Amino acid sequence: MKAARFLFTVLLLPSLHAADLKLAGVFTDHTVLQREQPLPVWGWATPEEQITVTFAGQSKSVKADAGGKWFVRLDPLPASAEGRDLIARSDTG
């Protein structure tokens, strides 16, 4: 079985304080992701904040719960050696 390699850079975009939007620690530069499997992405934000995650041409939005936790599941992707950016942004600012 061949392993897929999705190289990506995590970007937390504009006007955010470091404490407002955080991705789980597993999302770092040069992370390798499983091909053809749904991609769970999660983290923390201000409670009730709208979060949008964009990766490899797809985008999913979710609202953080009362405790600030959020979770989205991106659709499965084919194998690729192309580096890609995982972008998480909030509606703050």
Does the pLDDT value for residue 17 go beyond 50?
Answer: no
CA distances from 92 to 4, 14, 15, 17, 20 (A): 34, 9, 7, 9, 9
Q: Give the pTM.
A: 0.76
State the average pLDDT over residues 27-38. Answer: 90
DSSP secondary structure letters along 53-93: EEETTEEEEEE--TTSEEEEEEPP-----SEEEEEEEES--
User: Can you tell me the distance from the alpha carbon of 44 to that of 90, in angstroms, rounded to the nearest whole number?
Assistant: 11
Give the tens place of pLDDT for each residue, 18-28: 458 999 999 99
Span 53-75, mean pLDDT?
Answer: 97
Kindly state the average pLDDT of the residues 33-51: 95
Cα distance between residue 86 and residue 9, in whole Å:
6
